[in-house]
Structures are given as structure tokens and as C-alpha cells.
Copies of this chain bind each other. A is one copy, B any other.
Amino acid sequence: MEEFVKKYKSELLENVLPFWEKYSIDKEFGGYFTCLERDGSVFDTDKFMWLQGRQIWTMSTMYDKVQAKEEWKSIGEHGARFILDLGRDANGHWYFALDRTGKPLVQPYNIFSDCFATMGLASLYKITNKDEYAQVAVDTFNRILERQGNPKGKYNKAYPGTRNLKGFSLPMILSNLSLELEHIVGTQTVEKLIDEIIHEVMEVFYQPESGLIMESVHLDGSFSDTFEGRLVNPGHIIEAMWFMMDLANRRGDAKLMDKCIQIAIRALEYGWDQEFGGILYFKDILNRPPQQLEWDQKLWWVHLEALVCMAKGYAYTGNEQCKAWFEKLDAYTFSKFSDPVYGEWYGYLNRQGQPLLTLKGGKWKGCFHVPRALYKIYEALESKVPAII
């Protein structure tokens, strides 16, 4: 796998990170531009908290894990200053979006804004040791735990009691977030959350009949024959499985590792588009028409997370199916998403695999999935010896 290590490392260092260093910094008002055209030109100046927090995380993590490049640390601090000064309402909840100058545009209805702000600040604390970052990270983390039961607060449009479903996203993020905050919140908090989340993901949201993980289930874990309940997001399952593999590795739990690999491969087979290649964005478990008009599109993060998952599956266990899937995914993904001309990756392809939008960043795509995945992939493949089994 050596040639892959080289390829992914050079993609990260030469084709992806320079793009964000060059085009995303708002030197005038602070924070990051994320709405970047194919060539890096800014096409919109709104600032979305998800992507501000995520870029802080990416820059700090690259500094921490890849190379102690002062510029990356300073870009991280540049973003942190902006969100710390302007990103929260009076209760400490994080706005969803600000305008270029930092005035609030969209209220704190979305708890993932808080999740990514915390994640960014916690990682920046790791490389700077500045208390302010740790303090806000832990405050926000506690607020997230408090809001778990009704994350949207007054913006929740579901009528209480008629259909009580729970979603798979928040537990997933919390497991990842707790690991990111372990140096601040301590191992005990992390271990307790991990116990709960492994149970939720691998037993409650996991559906034995299909071998897949559902996006939403009834509170007792049973199947809901509704639009939300029938929804399968293969990329989300596969991403979750590498989170879980990391937990299996942490705990030396070979049985859990094996189950993760099985589910991930099942999700890949289920999500793979037999006609045009690539992984479909959404499917309905009963083959009914999904609500999402974008169901047949090919998204960058889905394919990158699948590469991470297969790289880790192979690195942790030597499983040959993981290796074969990694190679198949690599061939599709690199040729379709990576842009060797202007750098970074396209985000959205149509079913046929052509760019549907030429943007490199937007409201939902920023400096996060591409660099995180490239790094995680070569890190996994560099570790020659399987960690467990």
C-alpha cells in the first residue's frame, strides 16, 4: 500500500491544504470564506458555523498530526478569534450563520453548529494550551449534553407525542466529539459516552434483517415505516463504522471490529450504483421513492469516508475485502472528485459522475472532509501491522 500512502499524502499537502490557505482566509473581517468557486474565487461571503468550527479543527489537527507548520496554527487561531467574538448568542448557543462581518444571520437552531465549534476549539487548545479555548469548548460540550433531548429547542416543528423517533446523527457526533475532548473532559466521561454509543449504534440503530443502520428509529429501536424511518444514508453508515472501528481498536474488541467491517461492506454493496459506479446518497429501505431529490447524486464526503473506512478496516485486520473495496473506491473517487488543475475536490457529482456543481466549498462543504480523510487514510495505511487480531 506504499504507493497509496504517497499519493494521499501528496494530495493533502500539495493539492488540498494550499487551496484553503490561499483562498479561505478573510483578512478583513476575520474567519473563513467557504463559498469558493472551482478556481478558489469567493462567490459568497456568509459564514456558516459548521464550517468555521471544522476549519479550525482541520488546521489545528494538521499542525498536531502532520506537521507543526506555524501558518496552520495561525489560521486556526484566526478562525477561533472570529467565532469566539461573534459566534454565540447571550445563552452561549452558537448561531448557525453569520454574515461576512460577523453579524448573526441564522439563529442557533442547529446543535451541530455547537458540536463543530467545540471540536475546533478543543483541537486548537491541544496545540496552543490557551485556556480560553478549553473553557468555551467544555462549556459548549456541557450545553450540548443538556440540549440532547430536544436539540432544536423552540425551532422543533415536530408535534410532540405523535411520532417519537430518534436520529442516528447526534449520538454519532457525540461519540466522536467526546474523543476529541478527552484531553479536556477526561477519560471517564469519554468511556461512559462510548459505552452508550456503541450500544445505540450497533444494537439500537442496527437492523439485523437488512444488515444496515437506519437513520431514525422508534424510541424502542423498532422500525418506523415512514419517510424518515425508511431512509438509508450509506455514506453515513460507513463513516460511523470507522468511528466504531477506532473504538473497537481502543478497547481491543475484536468482535466489535468484525461487526463494523461486516456492516461497512454491506453498506457499500447496498449503496453502490451498479449502473454508473459510485455510492448513492440516499436509498429507501423498502425501495419506495425517497423524499430527497438528490438521492442519486455522488457526494465527496461519502466517498472519502468510505475510503477511510476501508483503509482502517484493512489496517486494523488485514481483511482482503477491505483492500479490494479500497482500491475500487480509490479508482472512482480520485478520477471523479479531485481537481488537479485548481486544487481541492468537487463536492457534488450527478449520477453519471460529472460535476453537478463546480464549487470547491459552499454552505456545507468546507475545509474538513477532504483533508481529514486524506490524512486518516495515509495514517491508517502507514501502520503496517494490524493493531488487533
Contact call A293/B348, Cβ cutoff below 8 A: yes
In this complex, what residue of B is CB-closest to A225?
B44
Contact call B356/A293, Cβ cutoff below 8 A: yes
Interface status of A297 (Cβ within 8 A of chain B): yes
Contact call A227/B99, Cβ cutoff below 8 A: no
Stretch of A58-66, A75-83, A103-111, A191-199 at the chain-chain interface: A103-111
Contact call B291/A294, Cβ cutoff below 8 A: no
In this complex, what residue of B is CB-closest to A42?
B288
Using Cβ atoms and an 8 Å threshold, which residues of chain B touch A158? 105-107
Contact call B107/A357, Cβ cutoff below 8 A: no
Q: Give the CA-CA distance A303 to B157 in the complex, in Å.
A: 32
Nearest CB in chain B: distance from A162 CB, A:
5
Using Cβ atoms and an 8 Å threshold, which residues of chain B touch A296? 350, 356
Among B46, B155, B159, B286, which residue has its beta carbon within 8 angstroms of that of A95? B159
Interface status of A189 (Cβ within 8 A of chain B): no
Contact call B46/A227, Cβ cutoff below 8 A: yes
Most buried by B among A159, A163, A363: A159
Interface status of A252 (Cβ within 8 A of chain B): no
Do A44 and B297 form a contact, CB below 8 Å, given A95-B159, A289-B359, A362-B291? no
In this complex, what residue of B is CB-closest to A96?
B157
Contact call A226/B362, Cβ cutoff below 8 A: no
Bitwise interface map of A from 331 to 364 toward B, beta carbon under 8 Å scored 1, else 0: 0000000000000000010110000111100110
Among B44, B103, B109, B293, which residue has its beta carbon within 8 angstroms of that of A293? B293
Do A37 and B289 form a contact, CB below 8 Å, given A99-B163, A296-B350? yes
Copies of this protein chain in the complex:
2
Q: Which chain A residues numbered 88 to 117 have a C-beta less than 8 Å away from chain B?
A: 95-96, 99, 103-107, 109
Using Cβ atoms and an 8 Å threshold, which residues of chain B touch A4? none
Using Cβ atoms and an 8 Å threshold, which residues of chain B touch A297? 293
Contact call B44/A162, Cβ cutoff below 8 A: no
Using Cβ atoms and an 8 Å threshold, which residues of chain B touch A290? 357
Q: Give the CA-CA distance A253 to B172 in the complex, in Å.
A: 60
Using Cβ atoms and an 8 Å threshold, which residues of chain B touch A358? 289
Nearest CB in chain B: distance from A114 CB, A:
15
Using Cβ atoms and an 8 Å threshold, which residues of chain B touch A356? 293, 295-296
Question: Contact residues of A with B, CB < 8 Å?
Answer: 37, 43-44, 46, 95-96, 99, 103-107, 109, 154-155, 157-159, 162-163, 226-227, 286, 288-291, 293-297, 348, 350-351, 356-359, 362-363
Q: Which 6 A-B pairs have the closest CB atoms?
A: A293-B294, A104-B159, A289-B359, A43-B288, A289-B357, A103-B162
- With A37-B288, A107-B157 known, 5 other A-B pairs at CB within 8 A are A96-B157, A107-B158, A289-B362, A296-B356, A350-B350
